[in-house]
Structure 1
Amino acid sequence: MYTDTEGIVLKNVKLPGGRKILVLFSLKYGKISAGTNINEKGRSKSTLALRPFTYSKFEIYKNRESYNVNSAEVIKSFYKIGEDVSKYMYASYILEFTDRIISENERAPQLFDLLIDYLSALEKRNKKYATLALAYQIKALAYAGCAPEIKKCVCCGDSGNLNWFVIKEGGIVCENCLNKLKTNVNESLIYDANFGIIEVIDYILSHPLKKLENLALNEKTQEKLKLIIRNYIAYHLDIRELKSESFLIE
């Protein structure tokens, strides 16, 4: 059957004969792999719609086993991202991260909207791209159902003396529970939370990404939070390395 959906191309794989396989994050069907014969050269509506970081509407032929993109049209191009190498790399990084956290054929409308908001905010931003990427990842964790617990101790439920963030336990831990955990938890996965991590994560989770366009963490806090979130994602989602991460430029 013929259908249409809004979407963003996460990546494409060239095949012999000019054909491509697109990994498409679609609003209607979630992440799908779709073949297409659309030529990437030229300036047709369909060609422009397949460019990186472009929010488009796709006409798709769908059968029981596969999808094929017949045509596409740009909704929003976010063209300024492609004019700045740092923005380009942070957009690539988030697309790769998004590709890794979503499953095939599972709708994720909240995450889809979050990705559109991220690209829109990144296009307007002039600095601190890492802060915006961290905000996206933290909110994406919440949509994936594995956001860190920051309101109470993940072990006993106490709301006092919450001074430690423990990756393995999935969030904040009180002093008493930390002493019990230390014999069983690798200390490299335990972080002092007194530098403001709880407040930062809480602020990010409590506000739409559109409201975080101007959020800029100081260098020390940003680097510590980046390390914690990277290790948290590695431990809980088994995403340990993203190819685009080595090319990030602040």
Structure 2
Amino acid sequence: MAGKSFASRTYRDEGVILRTHKLGEADRILVLLTRGHGQVRAVAKGVRRTSSKFGARLEPFMVADLQLSSGRNLDIVTQATTLGAYGHGIVSDYARYTAAAAIAETAERLTDVDGESANAHYHLVIGALAALNRGAHAPELILDSYLLRALATAGWAPSFTVCARCGAPGPHTAFSAALGGAVCSACRPPGSASPSPDTMVLLAALLSGDWPTADAAGQQARRESAGLVGGYLQWHLERVVKSLQHVERV
């Protein structure tokens, strides 16, 4: 992963805005996930003024070509050109917005501790936000697919077709977040979930990007898979992703 050079005080990169919060009367602090520099925290000066030239380009879920100036604690955004105006199509729809918020929160958590794979995470986030913006699939399916792929990118790929512990071929009827996914009857620990076969098929489809199968899944399988994905995410992050509680489920 590229690093910032403090010898040359400016650098350029593509970035998606994960989160913002106010600073002073007119500035805004941005949490960015960039293509080449990982997670970056930067100040956008004056963007809350109505006269700002690029305030609207630096809202959550927007993707921009950025020029930044390196700082000791926070970098400074000096230029921004829109590459993906996903924010407008997402914030106008509650289901898309809550899914995007959960994606952004998860990406921030994962890239804060796993900077080496930030480039791969960047492309996952961009793909998920673009799909949400155009309504390619149900928002909750896009979210769960992103979560599974992001966890896999971070080194926690779940198994849904073979036993996560012994490798015995499936299908299997038990799921253990602690062991890494589907488990056979011999490896199944006490308290394991017992998802339906349709749920296991859906989970495998979401991880692999088999959208015809995922789109055809019924409501029960979608609800059950969402619970398993959320539990798997929480197990590995060792904390709750607060945005998930606001996501609309079928």
* TM-score, scaled to structure 2: 0.85
Task: Name the counterpart of 2:199.
Answer: 197
Whether 1:120 aligns to 2:130 is yes
Task: Name the counterpart of 1:36.
Answer: 44
Does structure 1 retain, via aligned residues, the 8 Å contact 2:105–2:241?
A: no
State the AA in 1 paired with 2:101: S
Distance 1:234 1:111 in 2: 18
How far did 1:47 drift?
Answer: 1.2
Structure 1, residues 137-168: CA drift from partner, whole Å, max 9, x if none?
Answer: 11111111101123422222222562211121
Task: Name the counterpart of 1:162.
Answer: 172
Aligned alpha-carbon RMSD (Å): 2.5
Task: Name the counterpart of 1:82.
Answer: 91
State the AA in 2 paired with 1:220: Q
How far did 1:229 drift?
Answer: 1.0
SS at match of 2:31: strand
* TM-score, scaled to structure 1: 0.85
Distance 1:18 1:175 in 2: 59
Distance 2:179 2:245 in 1: 28
**Larger deviation: 112-121 or 77-86?**
77-86
Distance 2:67 2:26 in 1: 19
Check 1:161–1:31 CA distance in 2 against 1; reply closer, same or farther (3 A cut).
closer
Q: Work out which of the residue numbers 17, 31, 50 in structure 1 matches 2:58.
A: 50
Task: Among all aligned residue pairs of Structure 1 and Structure 2, give the percentage whose two residues are the same amino acid.
Answer: 24
Structure 1, residues 201-245: CA drift from partner, whole Å, max 9, x if none?
Answer: 32223238xx57982532100111111111111112213241x33
SS at match of 2:80: strand
SS at match of 2:11: strand
Unaligned runs of 5+ in 1: none
How far did 1:197 drift?
Answer: 3.2
Distance 1:111 1:215 in 2: 24
Unaligned runs of 5+ in 2: 1-8
How far did 1:105 drift?
Answer: 8.3
Does structure 1 retain, via aligned residues, the 8 Å contact 2:161–2:170?
A: no
Check 1:22–1:164 CA distance in 2 against 1; reply closer, same or farther (3 A cut).
same
Whether 1:171 aligns to 2:173 is no
Q: Work out which of the residue numbers 2, 7, 20 in structure 1 matches 2:10.
A: 2
Check 1:28–1:92 CA distance in 2 against 1; reply closer, same or farther (3 A cut).
same
**Larger deviation: 21-30 or 145-154?**
145-154
How far did 1:60 drift?
Answer: 0.3
Does structure 1 retain, via aligned residues, the 8 Å contact 2:29–2:41?
A: yes
Task: Name the counterpart of 2:235.
Answer: 235
Whether 1:215 aligns to 2:225 is no
Number of residue pairs the alignment of both structures matches: 239
Q: Work out which of the residue numbers 146, 152, 167 in structure 2 matches 1:142.
A: 152
